[in-house]
Structure 1
């Protein structure tokens, strides 16, 4: 499993309640950094990125029930750092498939996550570490 570097790294289980844990983690760290004004945007994008990572770790078992895959460590890695005037959020998951950006219909209940991230963040993308899986990242401007 890829281990995200830095002092602000958290390993999360690939379960639905993980997004709430990720939001609390981001809030606490941004408060400690004195970045209260960025908490709302950071919580929103981390919810979307972690939610996508959880979905990427769900597999259909026997065509009927969803169970989280365990990967090597059974988790999702969340990293928060400050880089060049921006807050950088990175989320690793074991599925190497790239995230899919779709244009949802007005009545669709899902599919807006990466569109939200792209509107709030100054940049976002995906990269594939040599250890496997993928990292989806975004940066929020400090200005």
Structure 2
């Protein structure tokens, strides 16, 4: 298993930078497009919920048949899947993550905030028994 992590500033440009960072680690792996979309959504949420002046961390854990993306932020609140109206211009991020990732969730972290993660099974994963 390999684990890589990088911090990003609370700035709109960090969404693309985090997406590029993760893409450089997963390369052309199967599901790379799904992973990139989910990174964008998780990082966008971190930007909205990270207090000014704080940074957030993106961690990628890669195993032979699994990639787990974690976004650590210092923001309050518990992420939840919304049910936006057709005319709403936000609220679909976690719907996309839930649809594209094989699993996702939140965990506590040391200090303020939370970790929001998404996991992606890669081809060759044996079915659950």
Runs of 4 or more, structure 1, over 6 Å off, are: none
Match of 1:55 in 2: 48
Per-residue Cα deviation, 1:92-137 (whole angstroms, up to 9, x for no partner): 0001311132101111111000000000111100011132210000
Provide, for residues 64-113 of structure 1, a one-character-per-residue CA deviation record: whole Å limited to 9, x for no partner: xxxxx12xxx2100001124721100000001311132101111111000
Q: What is the CA distance between 1:141 and its match in structure 2? A: 1.3
Structural RMSD (CA) = 1.6
Whole-Å separation in 2 of the counterparts to 1:126 and 1:23 = 20
Q: TM-score, normalised by structure 1?
A: 0.79
Alignment of 1:44 onto 2:37: yes
Secondary structure (helix, strand or coil) at the match of 1:89 reads strand
Counterpart position of 2:127: none
Aligned to 1:80: 60
Equivalenced residues, count: 122
SS at match of 2:31: helix
Equivalence map 1:14-25=2 (5 Å) = 14-25=10-21
User: Secondary structure of the residue that 1:8 maps to in structure 2?
Assistant: strand
Aligned to 2:126: none
Alignment partner of 1:111 is 2:104:
no
Tell me which residue corresponds to 2:24. Answer: 28
Structure 2: segments with no counterpart, 5+ residues: 124-129
Corresponding position of 1:140? 120
**Cα deviation, residue 26, structure 1:** 1.2
Map 1:3-14 to 2 at 5 A.
Answer: 7-14=3-10
